[in-house]
């Protein structure tokens, strides 16, 4: 049990190395090993999440060098939650890639997929800001290649923008870390919180500037206004399994804000306590409105789903910016809902594209697609959940966030923005569903594009879609116990002194 915290990092790393060695044996062998590793990671994530519910943090001291001098991995309820969501998403995306043979479009898909999971899990577990940068770079390097998987002009252009923007973000990240290390003498997150609490007044400006730089970097990862323009093209033009996995990528930025800013600049940070929250809340509100307008203006289904991801991230950032335990708990509930929903919608959009043939995902009335009843019904469920209509999980999450906003001075602005954004999403998705499933032609015109008669591997592909979208009804049926767990996770996140005590505990395994 002592070594459990490092296993979510080691498993995909070792799987990636093995897959690289097995590449000469062909894609079938790689599929078995990769999916086996993904399923094993899911089982491990379930075990770890169950262990985290005891409320005890585990700290894994790498090389037996204790903090703040050594590298530590901190396993708590928030990290366990993110590991579980990522593993569920990964299994669905991998299954879809295998049954649709999307993975065969490039030689290194499964290796890169495991390296992506290695970077993601490392980012969730690390207790050191510099190692957070390292794991960011690992997951970004893998994502650069995954984004381009399958090739194509649009994918290449979107990938180039994605690479350039994230390279700039990495450079700013290093500047911020350098400034923090120069002012505090440490990059261990728990130790930084101790140093900030006792910071001399003359250094507060420097540390605040470095904290804002970090907020810019994490905001870039989360696609916060005005740093979100890379997301719609990147997510809409990559392959469906990659886009589904990327649904958690923006949540890494949100997680980093909760973990780093929430710990270092939390309630015990003196004059710097929650200084970032007004920025986060204000920019989150702007991002939500612009994302809703992007959903309205989209002419293609996959672009629309990409803007839905942006809207969900903005809602999460609003919840974090409200800086209360209730809002954070509501945001975590909404995080689980929105991440798995977005992954499922990207896969569903790909099935619709394959069913419409040359019409692709354009919002042009066409002929009736195969399996339109099932696809239309699932699209209706997903659209209702994305908008936040009752009785689905999106409604529960948004109502909880709005409830938590009532004591905040900006509560009217938050209420108006979230409700207006939801109304715009409802209008846009109702229009999209009508064009795709109702405004169909009885007979094709001579100049109409060709529509496919069958969708290859449709049944097996729908398994992945339903696997991810199952979170929507489950979060409703289990709303009471899930919300109780989220309250406990939020309370532990805000317990900065408990986090510090665990990190500085001398024993391997920590507290």
Q: Residue 53: name the closest of 488, 421, 343, 504 by CA.
A: 488
pLDDT at 158: 82
**pLDDT, tens digit, for every residue of 214-265?**
999 999 999 999 889 889 989 998 899 999 999 999 999 999 999 999 999 9
For residue 159, name the pLDDT band (cuts at 50, 70, 90).
confident
Asked if residue 84 has pLDDT above 80, the reply is yes
For residue 95, name the pLDDT band (cuts at 50, 70, 90).
very high
Mean pLDDT of 269-290: 92
CA distance between the termini of the chain: 13
Tell me the C-alpha distance between 45 and 39, whole Å: 10
Tell me the C-alpha distance between 309 and 288, whole Å: 10
Tell me the C-alpha distance between 186 and 198, whole Å: 14
Beta bridge partners of 128: 188
**pLDDT, tens digit, for every residue of 428-439?**
999 998 888 887
pLDDT at 508: 43
pLDDT at 454: 67
Mean pLDDT of 292-299: 93
The three-class DSSP label of residue 126 is strand
pLDDT at 440: 72
pLDDT at 363: 78
Q: What is the 3-state secondary structure (H, E, C) of 261-314?
A: HHHHCCCCCHHHCCCCHHHHHHHHHHHHHHHHHHHHHCCEHHHHHHHHHHHHHH
Asked if residue 39 has pLDDT above 50, the reply is yes
**pLDDT, tens digit, for every residue of 374-402?**
989 999 999 999 999 999 999 999 999 99
Asked if residue 266 has pLDDT above 90, the reply is no
Mean pLDDT of 68-84: 91
Tell me the C-alpha distance between 340 and 502, whole Å: 31
For residue 305, name the pLDDT band (cuts at 50, 70, 90).
very high
């Amino acid at each position: 049990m002592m070594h459990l915290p490092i296993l979510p990092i080691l498993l995909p790393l070792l799987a990636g190395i093995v897959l690289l060695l097995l590449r000469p044996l062909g894609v079938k062998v790689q599929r078995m090993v990769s999916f086996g590793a993904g399923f094993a990671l899911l089982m491990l994530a379930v075990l770890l999440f169950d262990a985290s519910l005891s409320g005890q943090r585990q700290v894994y001291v790498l090389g037996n060098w204790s903090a703040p001098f050594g590298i530590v991995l901190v396993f708590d309820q928030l990290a366990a939650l993110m590991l579980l969501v990522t593993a569920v998403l990964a299994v669905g995306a991998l299954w879809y890639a295998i049954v649709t043979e999307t993975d065969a479009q490039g030689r290194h898909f499964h290796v890169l997929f495991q390296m992506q999971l290695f970077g993601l899990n490392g980012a969730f577990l690390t207790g050191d800001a510099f190692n957070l940068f390292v794991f960011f770079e690992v997951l970004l390097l893998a994502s650069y290649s995954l984004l381009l998987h399958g090739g194509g002009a649009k994918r290449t252009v979107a990938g180039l923008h994605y690479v350039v923007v994230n390279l700039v973000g990495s450079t700013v990240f290093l500047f911020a870390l350098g400034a923090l290390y120069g002012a505090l003498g440490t990059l261990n997150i728990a130790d930084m919180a101790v140093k900030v609490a006792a910071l001399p007044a003359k250094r507060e400006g420097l540390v605040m500037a470095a904290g804002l730089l970090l907020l810019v970097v994490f905001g870039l990862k989360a696609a916060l206004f005005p740093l979100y323009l890379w997301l719609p093209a990147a997510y809409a033009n990559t392959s469906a399994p990659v886009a589904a996995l990327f649904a958690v990528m923006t949540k890494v930025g949100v997680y980093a804000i909760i973990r780093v800013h929430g710990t270092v600049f939390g309630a015990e940070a003196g004059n710097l306590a929650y200084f970032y929250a007004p920025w986060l809340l204000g920019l989150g509100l702007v991002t939500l409105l612009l994302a809703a307008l992007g959903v309205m203006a989209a002419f293609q289904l996959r672009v629309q789903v990409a803007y839905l991801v942006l809207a969900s991230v903005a809602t999460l950032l609003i919840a974090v910016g409200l800086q209360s335990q209730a809002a954070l708990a509501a945001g975590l509930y909404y995080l689980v809902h929105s991440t798995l929903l977005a992954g499922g919608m990207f896969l569903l959009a790909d099935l619709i594209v394959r069913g419409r043939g040359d019409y692709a995902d354009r919002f042009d009335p066409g002929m009736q697609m195969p399996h339109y009843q099932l696809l239309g019904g699932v699209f209706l469920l997903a659209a209702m959940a994305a908008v936040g209509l009752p009785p689905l999980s999106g409604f529960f999450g948004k109502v909880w966030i709005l409830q938590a906003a009532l004591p905040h001075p900006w509560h009217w602005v938050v209420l108006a923005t979230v409700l207006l954004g939801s109304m715009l999403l409802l209008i846009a998705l109702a229009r999209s569903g009508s064009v795709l499933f109702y405004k169909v032609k009885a007979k094709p015109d001579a100049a109409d594009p060709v529509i496919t008669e069958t969708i290859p591997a449709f049944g097996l592909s729908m398994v992945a879609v339903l696997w991810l979208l199952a979170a929507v009804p489950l979060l409703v049926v289990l709303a009471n116990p899930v919300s109780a767990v989220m309250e406990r996770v939020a309370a532990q996140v805000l317990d900065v002194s408990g986090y510090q005590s665990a990190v500085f505990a001398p024993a391997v395994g920590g507290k």
